Chain A
């Protein structure tokens, strides 16, 4: 029932965005984590992941009017754009990697549970208590050491490690509760 409601709601959002492109922001917010998680798993560094993700959403916005609702989630369309963008990149990088591109093409045809899982995880981080969220961002996005974080926050290294441990534990528990 929820899935049907979600699908109907998504369809309304898409139609609204097709009429008024400024409504695309809602689709962006809903699907950003999923697209980014998909891309991040397939590129080597954060800068490239950001470039491809940006390309995907810009392409989607430009081609939004051509999108036809057939009961397939909007995210799948975005992932297809991402797959094509990645394929183009890989082709440009090296002809010798074309086989890899084809393999990737096969791979993206099916669902990637890890992408869904990561997208959900990124969403859950936003709901952590502020101090735990800050530690997670500093530690995993900025990849700073516990010592640096402790110095910046004016707390002991032990306290930062505790926050990190509690945050990861909380995320693990919430992920287990999800289907």
Chain B
């Protein structure tokens, strides 16, 4: 019989020994029977861990260190026989853990007393760069949107004049006919593209003629949010504004990303981590309106901003057109 066949027969017999299944074909060869006898004896072999642990326990007891009652079992040893307990160490450990638990409880208590402080810190983002209006592919200024929760969409009309700063948002239906201080309704945009409205103000893309400020909010005209015109949100401009990734809007793809420099301080401290920043990637692929949302400090935030300003992206797309998209950009600082 070949050694491979003996191996197979032996292993089969050992499996039978463990499972308790009596096989019709008992091992035939004398060699396998002898080896199986050895295997049966080995199945009663002690575990290494048990032997070493018991030796340790005995050593402790022999050295006069107290063990819990009932010989080998201690408070932590029910059925598992872990290390024996030293009374003094146990007391130190209990005191330390109690102190830590009290400290944690105190922290929670303080946080509950100062909910406003917590709320403020949660929403703080470092504004390290003045806001720059993001131009759309057509050259207009984004961030438009508005309305007054009207049931009907915004009506058709002309855009108001564009200015660098908005004083009064445009409206179709004026509620206050005699304001104390009248101001020209404008939207934010490059002044060189300003137009002067000759007719009724409204959304140029709308086809409805029934006067309405639109279904949006914020005082402008349209279905968006803010004091501008259009379906965008968050701004006093016009147009569709800044898009979120998803729902037909693709994510901008970085195409030129020079490595950020390390600050001397961080390099000396061998400090590593990731700086996260909120950014608007314009339709031209340039990152704008960068704001640090997760800071590292040690000068790395400034280095990250410096690097990302030089980055270029393939812009996000919607319906085949490049659009401005907001996203989180991460800069990884690591030392090799």
Residues of A within 8 A of B (CB): 21-22, 24-25, 28-29, 32-33, 36-37, 40-41, 46-47, 49-51, 53-55, 57-59, 61, 114, 117-118, 121-122, 125, 136-137, 139-141, 143, 145-146, 158, 161-162, 164-165, 168-169, 171-172, 175
Q: In whole angstroms, how far apart are the Cα atoms of A40 and B51 in the complex? A: 14
Question: Among residues 31 to 61 in chain B, which have CB atoms less than 8 Å away from a CB atom of chain A?
Answer: 34-35, 38-39, 41-48, 50-51, 54-55, 57-59, 61
Residues 16-29 of B, flagged 1 when their CB comes within 8 A of A and 0 if not, give 00100000000000
Please tell me if the beta carbons of A161 and B81 are within 8 angstroms of each other in the complex: no
Number of interface residues of B (CB under 8 A): 37
What's the dominant secondary structure at chain B's contact region? helix
**B163 CB, nearest partner CB in chain A, Å:** 72
Please tell me if the beta carbons of A55 and B18 are within 8 angstroms of each other in the complex: no
Q: B249 interface residue, CB < 8 Å from A?
A: no
Please tell me if the beta carbons of A141 and B4 are within 8 angstroms of each other in the complex: no
A-B contact pairs, 10 of them (CB 8 A): A25-B55, A28-B54, A36-B51, A46-B47, A51-B72, A121-B41, A122-B46, A125-B42, A140-B42, A168-B42
Please tell me if the beta carbons of B7 and A165 are within 8 angstroms of each other in the complex: yes
**A112 CB, nearest partner CB in chain B, Å:** 13
Question: Total A-B residue pairs with C-beta atoms closer than 8 Å?
Answer: 117
Q: Which A residues lie within 8 Å of B138 (CB)?
A: none
Q: Which B residues lie within 8 Å of A22 (CB)?
A: 59, 62-63
Please tell me if the beta carbons of B35 and A165 are within 8 angstroms of each other in the complex: yes
Please tell me if the beta carbons of B62 and A61 are within 8 angstroms of each other in the complex: yes
Q: B176 interface residue, CB < 8 Å from A?
A: no
Given A25-B62, A54-B72, do A146 and B11 touch, yes or no (CB 8 Å)?
yes
Given A22-B63, A32-B51, do A117 and B41 touch, yes or no (CB 8 Å)?
yes
Q: Which A residues lie within 8 Å of B48 (CB)?
A: 137, 141
Give 4 closest A-B pairs by Cβ, nearest first.
A21-B62, A40-B44, A140-B42, A58-B71
Please tell me if the beta carbons of A118 and B44 are within 8 angstroms of each other in the complex: yes
Other A-B pairs, 10, CB within 8 Å; known A21-B64, A25-B59, A54-B57: A24-B58, A54-B54, A54-B72, A59-B71, A61-B62, A140-B42, A141-B45, A161-B8, A165-B7, A172-B35
Q: Which B residues lie within 8 Å of A143 (CB)?
A: 18, 43
Please tell me if the beta carbons of B11 and A50 are within 8 angstroms of each other in the complex: no
Q: B6 interface residue, CB < 8 Å from A?
A: yes
Please tell me if the beta carbons of B41 and A54 are within 8 angstroms of each other in the complex: no
Please tell me if the beta carbons of A169 and B35 are within 8 angstroms of each other in the complex: yes
Q: Which B residues lie within 8 Å of A171 (CB)?
A: 38, 42
Q: B114 interface residue, CB < 8 Å from A?
A: no
Q: In whole angstroms, how far apart are the Cα atoms of A20 and B54 in the complex? A: 19
Q: Which B residues lie within 8 Å of A49 (CB)?
A: 44, 46
Please tell me if the beta carbons of B62 and A53 are within 8 angstroms of each other in the complex: no
**Option from A50, A164, A175 in Cβ contact (under 8 Å) with B46:** A50
Given A33-B46, A162-B7, do A58 and B72 touch, yes or no (CB 8 Å)?
yes
Q: Which A residues lie within 8 Å of B42 (CB)?
A: 121, 125, 136, 140, 168, 171
Q: B308 interface residue, CB < 8 Å from A?
A: no
Please tell me if the beta carbons of A54 and B55 are within 8 angstroms of each other in the complex: no
Q: In whole angstroms, how far apart are the Cα atoms of A85 and B176 in the complex? A: 100
Q: B3 interface residue, CB < 8 Å from A?
A: yes
**Option from B10, B44, B72 in Cβ contact (under 8 Å) with A168:** B10
